[in-house]
């Protein structure tokens, strides 16, 4: 089982603020990194999957970058809105790895 760490554990921002958080993982034998968004009382839903060093993905105001050599991914939210409030999970998958999730970053956006 891989060690996938996310920081910070929780984050409170004001509406309109831009924010970012981190997913760290072992850099050796990397296959794929996934970001999921998990709203309260709902199920996790996929945001992005990244496989190559330097990958950048974007969906609306949310974007993500990947650095496989140093073992981290950043998720950015530009101009946070209350509807962005959720827990954001990252996960590693691929090869012989059991899919492994980090504990998530809980984002609360205050109006």
Quick count: other Cβ atoms within 10 Å of Cβ 47?
Answer: 18
Q: How far apart are CA 33 and CA 99, in angstroms?
A: 10
Shortest Cβ 13–another protein spacing (Å):
21
- The site for another protein (CB under 8 A) is made up of 1, 31-32, 34, 36, 42-46, 49, 51, 89, 91, 93-94, 98-104
Shortest Cβ 12–another protein spacing (Å):
17
Q: How far apart are CA 54 and CA 66, in angstroms?
A: 5
Q: Which is nearer to another protein, 15 or 46 (CB)?
A: 46
């Amino acid at each position: 089982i891989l060690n996938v760490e996310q920081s910070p554990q929780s984050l409170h921002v004001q509406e309109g603020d831009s924010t970012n958080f981190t997913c760290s993982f072992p850099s050796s034998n990397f296959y794929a990194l996934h970001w999921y968004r998990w709203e309260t009382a709902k199920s996790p839903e996929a945001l992005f999957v990244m496989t190559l060093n330097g990958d950048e993905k974007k969906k609306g105001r949310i974007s993500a970058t990947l650095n496989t050599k140093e073992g981290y991914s950043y998720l950015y939210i530009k101009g946070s809105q209350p509807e962005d409030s959720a827990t954001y999970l990252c996960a590693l998958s691929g090869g012989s790895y059991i899919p492994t999730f980090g504990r998530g970053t809980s984002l609360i956006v205050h109006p």
